[in-house]
């Protein structure tokens, strides 16, 4: 019995090792033969099936790209568009190589090359057909604000009005009430009657026109012994009684209030204070979308900095005939870095996409429109 167990233990390891080698060889053969199938969009994971392999080959820096490729779990630094092979976060529009889209409409491409081709072609359309030649103009349409009011531009002319403030902030019920009333509830202009609350002391005093005697007056009527009394022939001057608001509530009505213009300016400034922006002039209107304006400005500044320009300067991406210029590669790299955060598209991927840009023909121009 012992001899049989020893023989079994000595023969099992070679068999297990041979089986593992054979299994590994089969996996390699299946991958080489393309048995994995074409890339597809995974709805649960919200990613394209081959995004890890594409990220390891096309993203930079190489160290982080390799971690994203071989990590057993999804790294935290991987942006959602990296898992879509869409390093510029382009929205779905029936692009070549499109295999799906996430809930926000970002396209899932079969390969990173398809996403780079779409980004290069879209930038040329923006620059030539839409006339968006500056970084700020490009970003305002590439990554538009999500909290602006409707009907702000030509794109939103046919859009449905938002259920929140369809007539603008100035047309809300609260804004109309503040415009008609002063602090305390009195109407602007005409008679400014005081609005007395039922629980206030003034309400309890209604029907009693005579004022209550001030506490300070009663205290002052009682003489106080002075150690210096009788040393001077002149009578001591009586100190003026101090009337406090608690003793005489009617005195509080004489307080000065800010002008209506300043109150309106301060109420309009409240969104700016909440968003953390500088106060500036109180009479300046508050921005409609302060948070998104800051994001768009930073995005445009990063693009312009890559070619040593300002966000309002012409980026010089294409020539009049549509041929790409040297600034296009730097701008595409900067845009992918903003969209992906820690990662960005590699130079080989961008240069290959620019090289595949065909000349602008009449058919291409009509398709762009």
Domain boundary among 248, 268, 286: 286
Same domain, residue pair 301 and 279: no
Per residue in 47-68, pLDDT tens? 999 999 999 999 999 999 999 9
Indicate if 95 and 120 belong to the same structural domain.
yes
Q: Is residue 279 located within the same domain as residue 175? A: yes
Residue 278: domain span: 168-183+258-286
* Spans of the chain, pLDDT less than 50: 1-17, 19-21, 23-24, 26-35, 148-162, 192, 210, 216-220, 271-288, 362-369
pTM: 0.55
Q: Are residues 270 and 337 in the same domain?
A: no
Considering the domain architecture, whether residues 172 and 282 belong to the same structural domain is answered as: yes
* Residue that has been written with the tokens 């929205």 in this structure: 91
The tally of domains found in the chain comes to 2
Residue 94 lies in a domain: yes
pLDDT, residue 142, reads: 94
Q: What is the pLDDT, as a whole number, of residue 312? A: 95
- Residue 251 DSSP class: G
Q: Of 166, 144, 169, 168, whose CA–CA distance to 155 is shortest? A: 144
Write out pLDDT tens, residues 252-285: 555 566 666 666 666 555 544 343 434 344 344 4
DSSP type of residue 153: S
| pLDDT tens profile 90-131 | 999 999 999 999 999 999 999 999 999 999 999 999 999 999
CA distance between the termini of the chain = 85
Q: Is residue 200 part of a domain?
A: no
pLDDT reported for residue 220? 47
- Those residues whose C-beta lies under 8 Å from the C-beta of residue 358, and which sit 6 or more positions away, are 364
- DSSP lists the bridge partners of residue 344 as 60
């Amino acid at each position: 019995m012992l001899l049989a167990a020893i023989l079994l233990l000595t023969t099992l390891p070679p068999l297990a090792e041979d089986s593992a080698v054979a299994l590994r060889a089969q996996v390699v053969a299946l991958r080489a033969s393309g048995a994995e199938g074409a890339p597809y969009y995974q709805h649960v994971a919200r990613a394209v099936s081959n995004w890890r392999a594409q990220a390891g080959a096309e993203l930079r820096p190489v160290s982080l790209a390799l971690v994203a490729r071989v990590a057993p779990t999804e790294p935290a630094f991987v942006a959602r568009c990296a898992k879509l092979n869409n390093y510029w976060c382009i929205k779905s529009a029936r692009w070549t190589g499109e295999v799906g889209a996430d809930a926000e409409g970002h396209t899932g491409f079969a390969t990173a090359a398809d996403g780079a081709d779409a980004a290069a072609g879209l930038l040329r359309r923006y620059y030539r057909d839409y006339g968006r030649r500056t970084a700020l103009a490009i970003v305002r349409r590439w990554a538009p604000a999500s909290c602006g009011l409707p009907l702000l531009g030509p794109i939103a002319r046919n859009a449905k009005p938002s259920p929140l403030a369809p007539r603008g902030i100035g047309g809300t019920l609260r804004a109309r009430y503040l415009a008609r009333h002063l602090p305390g509830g009195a109407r602007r202009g005409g008679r400014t009657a005081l609005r007395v609350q039922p629980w206030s002391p003034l309400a309890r005093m209604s029907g009693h026109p005579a004022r209550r005697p001030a506490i300070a007056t009663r205290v002052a009527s009682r003489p106080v012994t002075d150690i210096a009394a009788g040393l001077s022939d002149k009578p001591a001057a009586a100190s003026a009684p101090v009337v406090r608001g608690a003793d005489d509530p009617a005195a509080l009505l004489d307080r000065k209030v800010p002008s209506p213009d300043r109150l309106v300016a301060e109420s309009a400034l409240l969104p700016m204070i909440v968003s953390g922006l500088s106060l500036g002039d109180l009479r300046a209107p508050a921005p409609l979308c302060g948070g998104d304006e800051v994001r768009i400005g930073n995005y445009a500044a990063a693009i312009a900095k890559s070619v040593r320009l300002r966000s309002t300067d012409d980026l010089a991406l294409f020539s009049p005939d549509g041929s790409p210029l040297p600034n296009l590669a730097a701008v595409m790299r900067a845009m992918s870095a903003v969209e992906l955060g820690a990662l960005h598209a590699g130079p080989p991927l961008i240069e290959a996409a620019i090289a595949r840009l065909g000349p602008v023909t009449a058919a291409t121009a009509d398709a762009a429109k």
